[in-house]
């Protein structure tokens, strides 16, 4: 983009000087490179994290990522990198995966009759580490 906009005495008007290239305002400016059809910005949050949908670009300096974090993803801080063509922007330790809270998510069957014996119940957990021979199911309120 060539030209610089300069306000005139009348705030309702402006004058364009086409012989001067536009100059950045402020000290936090970096050049903006022209994008071509088919260009795309990608995001990388590290192993075990994928984008649930395409990255949403809100502006030249803002994007929104919807993530899927694998239950087996390693915990800890990760670098986040966004790449557009040759431009690579990284935030070191920008995102942290934390351990999930262990929970029982499903019992099947989830009912039993009084006096029933040897009822087999499949138990599904999330963020659990069941170990054969050491896990005991106690009724609620039993310590």
Region 84-112 average pLDDT? 95
- What's residue 142's pLDDT? 52
Tens digits of residue pLDDT in 4-55: 344 444 444 444 433 333 433 333 334 444 555 567 899 999 999 999 999 9
Phi, psi dihedrals of residue 129, rounded to the nearest 5°: -135, 60
Instruction: Answer positive or negative: Cα dihedral of 58, 62, 79, 35.
Output: positive
pLDDT tier at 131, thresholds 50, 70, 90: confident
- What's residue 39's pLDDT? 77
Task: Indicate if the pLDDT at residue 87 is higher than 90.
Answer: yes
Q: How far apart are CA 67 and CA 52, in angstroms?
A: 5
Task: Indicate if the pLDDT at residue 112 is higher than 70.
Answer: yes
Q: How far apart are CA 94 and CA 55, in angstroms?
A: 17
Tens digits of residue pLDDT in 57-76: 999 899 999 999 998 899 99
């Amino acid at each position: 983009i060539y030209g610089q906009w300069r306000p005139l005495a009348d705030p309702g008007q402006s004058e364009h000087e086409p012989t001067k290239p536009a100059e950045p305002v402020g000290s936090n400016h970096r050049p903006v490179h022209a994008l071509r059809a088919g260009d795309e910005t990608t995001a990388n949050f590290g192993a075990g994290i994928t984008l649930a949908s395409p990255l949403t670009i809100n502006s030249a300096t803002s994007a929104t990522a919807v993530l899927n974090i694998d239950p087996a993803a390693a915990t800890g801080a990760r670098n986040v990198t966004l790449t557009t063509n040759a431009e690579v922007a990284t935030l070191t330790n920008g995102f942290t995966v934390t351990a999930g809270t262990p929970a029982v998510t499903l019992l099947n069957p989830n009912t039993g009759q009084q006096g029933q014996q040897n009822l087999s119940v499949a138990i599904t957990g999330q963020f659990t580490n069941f170990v054969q021979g050491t896990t005991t199911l106690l009724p609620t309120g039993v310590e």
